[in-house]
Chains A and B, each alone.
Chain A
Amino acid sequence: MLYAILCYHNEDFVTSWPKEEDDAVLAKRGKVTSELAAKGKMGPAIRLMPTSAATTIRNGQGGDLVLDGPFAETKEQLLGFYILEGDSLEEVIEAAKRIKEGESCTFEIRPIQIFKKGVISEESLTAS
């Protein structure tokens, strides 16, 4: 089964990390994700820009409203997600714990109902 691991944290906190800290976290996580990739069990890993770059579309009177910022004012924000394959929830929890190790963020594991791989040109991927 495919699972998404959604990563939540307080944005104020994360954006006050110095670069070295961020690099260390990414390197630590990278070790686990490349192990999973070697087993063919690692899907895309995505980091989102801060919520200040977010735009929300919701229904309003007389049509769609386009608003700045995220939909909900919450203490923790969705900062990114992983998609991976696991034979059991147990296995995914173990993997998620290893990715998260030593960090103060919150991970939410959600089984994926529909997954379409999609098509994005190599050119677009290298540009972003």
Chain B
Amino acid sequence: MSDIAWIEKALIGARPQAVGALLRYFRDLDRAEEAFQEACLRALRTWPQKGPPRDPAAWLIFVGRNAALDSVRRDSRNTELPEDAAISNLDDAETELSERLDNAQYRDDILRLMFICCHPDLPATQQIPLALRIVSGLSVQQIAAAFLVNEKAMEQRITRAKRRVMDANVPFEAPGPAERAERVGAVAAMIYLVFNEGYSSSGGDAHMRAPLCEEAIRLARLLLRLFPAEPEIMGLLALMLLQHARTPSRLDGDGNIVLLENQDRSLWSRDKISEGLALVEKAMRHRRPGPYQVQAAIAALHGRATHAEETDWAQISLLYLTLERMNPSPVVTLNRAVAVFKATGAEQALNLVKPLEERLSSYFYFHGVHGALLKELGRVDEARQAFNRAISLARTPAEAAHIRQQLDALEARSERLSAAQ
């Protein structure tokens, strides 16, 4: 790795901590970001010669804070900036600073930075770009590409979101335990939104979006490092690792969705699966189950099955029942119905699906599952209707193509049937 590439990685790694601390000093997001930018520029100038500092985040906080204070002074008095050499000769000051800032303060800094991105006033469409910009440090151009909007529109969206969170006055004092727990929960939800934006590909090019999954995993690792004994954060990280492990087999060469049962499991990332399984195991020891842990346990059962036929569907349908009780939602019931279909049969599954029709009538996946169950039960006309409805609701060509295949299979079957009669 070249010097510059190495430094860029170190800057990305240190960003949440450094911007979080600078935000606490300046209580202003724009100023904190500018100070961080300035510190990064100086790092790029001085690190190649001097070697990396022992604690890059502490260095960046120190230099960023001084640079911002200098610029305030310079604006008022027109004095000159100190030489870079003077600024970067900070080893002692830096060590002192990092010792003075205990981990607890760092922790609240990072948590606050993540938390302002998921302010309840912000819709998901603003939370995700804001987090990617502020916490992850992706460029507006990168974010715009992932969301398939032009740069200018994305810039405006982020600016609006920033203004909104700054107007909301998130307190800068260290939060109490209850408030901290609430923040952790909100941040976890935001991280999962980032992941799903990458994973579910609601329109657009799947390849452009995989980095969002990686980024969400990185943020969850960070959050878990801050709260290492939180089983729900272990569950969240495990869930994302186990799902992302399947990415290489989810689309075929033409970009069509490959169903879980037809995926080439040898393409799954064993590293991610074993890490996910290890985290699920750790989380369970706490005996404080929660929705992320249950979803991770479901993903773990898929990850453990080397062939689709080995999947423990009975256990999965029980886990969905647990999840349904924790988080009642028609989508969870629909997923349970799929597990029941595999474990028990289409008839029982259809009984679960029917009552959902009204609430999920505009949900692509509902009509796909409904159609598949009807097809299984030989109710060809109703199945065709459901599949057609699904196609009309498909968000990506891959989704539509997948249903069309089912429809073709259905027609082939009904032709065979009528030929036989």
- Taking Cβ atoms with an 8 Å cutoff, the residues of A that contact B are 10-13, 15-18, 21, 49-53, 55, 66-69, 73, 75, 102-104, 128
Q: Chain B at the A interface: mostly helix, strand, loop or mixed?
A: helix
Task: Identify which of B13, B54, B274, B279 contacts A13 (C-beta below 8 A).
Answer: B13
B255 within 8 A of A: no
A52 touches B228 (CB 8 A): yes
Interface flags, B265-296, vs A, CB<8A=1, else 0: 00000000011001100100100000000000
Q: Is B125 in the interface zone, CB < 8 Å from A?
A: no
Q: Once the chains bind, are B52 and A104 in contact (CB under 8 Å)? A: yes
Please state if A49 and B1 are interface contacts (CB–CB under 8 Å): no
What 12 new A-B contacts, CB under 8 Å, besides A10-B13, A53-B282?
Answer: A11-B221, A11-B225, A12-B14, A13-B13, A16-B218, A49-B275, A52-B228, A52-B279, A68-B282, A75-B55, A104-B6, A128-B274
Q: Contacts A12-B222, A50-B221 known; A17 to B9 CB distance under 8 Å?
A: yes
Chain A residues, Cβ within 8 Å of B55: 75
Minimum distance in angstroms from A107 CB to a CB of chain B:
16
| A49 and B274 contact, Cβ closer than 8 Å, known pairs A12-B14, A16-B13, A68-B229 | yes
Q: Report the Cα distance A103→B52, complex, angstroms.
A: 12
With A15-B221, A50-B221, A69-B228 as given contacts, are A104 and B279 in contact (CB-CB < 8 Å)? no
Q: Which residue of A lies closest to B215 (CB)?
A: A16
Contact A73:B103 (CB < 8 A) given known A50-B221, A52-B221: yes
Q: Which B residues, 2 to 37, have Cβ-Cβ distances below 8 Å to chain A?
A: 6, 9-10, 12-14
B-side interface residues, number (CB < 8 Å): 28
B228 contacts A102, C-beta separation under 8 Å: no
Query: Does B237 count as interface, using CB distance less than 8 angstroms?
Result: yes
**Minimal beta-carbon separation of A114 from chain B (angstroms):** 27
What is the minimal beta-carbon distance from A123 to any residue of chain B, in angstroms?
14
Contacts of B275 in A (CB 8 A): 49-50, 53
Chain B positions within 8 Å of A52 at CB level:
221, 224-225, 228, 234, 237, 279
B229 touches A16 (CB 8 A): no
Contact A102 B225 (CB under 8 A): no
Across the interface, name the chain B residue whose C-beta is closest to A103: B1
A10 to B285, CA, bound (A): 28
A16 pairs with B12, CB closer than 8 A: yes
Complex CA–CA separation, A69 to B233 (angstroms): 13
How far apart are the CA atoms of A29 and B367 in the complex, in Å? 51
Could you tell me the distance in whole angstroms from the C-beta of B109 to the nearest C-beta in chain A?
A: 15
10 closest A-B pairs (Cβ-Cβ)? A69-B228, A12-B13, A13-B13, A68-B228, A68-B229, A53-B278, A52-B224, A49-B275, A104-B6, A16-B12
Known contacts A49-B275, A53-B279; is-contact A104 B1 (Cβ 8 Å): yes
Q: List 8 A-B contacts (CB under 8 A).
A: A12-B14, A17-B9, A52-B221, A53-B279, A55-B282, A68-B228, A104-B1, A104-B10
Supposing A15-B218, A102-B1 touch, asked if A51 and B225 sit within 8 A by C-beta, the answer is yes
